Homo-oligomer: A and B are copies of this chain.
């Protein structure tokens, strides 16, 4: 039930615009939402949004801020239930990243592309992004230190693993998976298995036989 003939006129329009922008984005699947449509759906005039955001890019920045926070929370939630082994945690992080991307494809595309809003202008965006990145870096560092991942530049390896998860998620979000014989229905499992395949392939000790117990004490010359 709306409040009579003058429903809006005031209220917390700013937040309503952000929420409706997300709704419209995920509904239409388009990267560029129409601020006029967002205004129309909220029952306000076409000029109203510009009292809260200087332009569409600023609105998209606000949307990206919230989406990045949700991605961070999703990933952190998954890690809370994960085992302690760094490699297992890395896989869990990757799975959570992929899962969130597939469930919120338009938001995922938005937060991934620095070209649709102004990343540098938003401290909260930078904070939430860095948090996930730092978690990745820390896990890779632990794995390298304990010898379960091959030695070398941590930054470089973390970048590669992030790119792997990002690439897998984006191939689905961009609609490429049909050309790789991956049925849409089990896309998530397929992508997570592909990720595990690489991580397990990189893992140092086969831990098949408890004989060797390699490195862990043999960092680098």
Contacts and interface: CB of A to CB of B under 8 A. Distances in A.
Contacts of A158: 180
A109 B93 CA distance: 26
A112 B180 contact: no
A156 B193 contact: yes
Interface size range on A against B: 35 or more
A54 B17 CA distance: 35
Nearest to A114: B175
Contacts of A170: 112, 163, 166-167, 170
Contacts of A152: 197
Contacts of A165: 167
Interface stretch (A8-16, A34-42, A44-52, A198-206): A198-206
- Interface SS of chain A: helix
Contacts of A129: 179
Interface in A206-221: 206, 212, 214
Given A162-B167, A166-B167, A194-B156, A176 B31 contact: no
A160 B114 contact: no
Contacts of A176: 112, 114
Contacts of A162: 167, 171, 180
Residue from the set A112, A113, A168, A198 with the largest chain B CB neighbour count within 10 Å: A198
B133 A155 contact: no
Interface of A: 29, 31-32, 112-115, 119, 126, 129-130, 133, 150, 152, 155-160, 162-168, 170-171, 174-176, 179-182, 190-191, 193-195, 197-198, 201-202, 206, 212, 214
Give the top 9 A-B pairs by smallest Cβ distance, nearest first: A167-B167, A114-B175, A163-B167, A160-B194, A166-B167, A163-B168, A201-B202, A113-B174, A164-B164
10 contacts: A130-B179, A133-B180, A156-B194, A157-B194, A159-B190, A160-B195, A163-B168, A163-B170, A166-B170, A167-B168
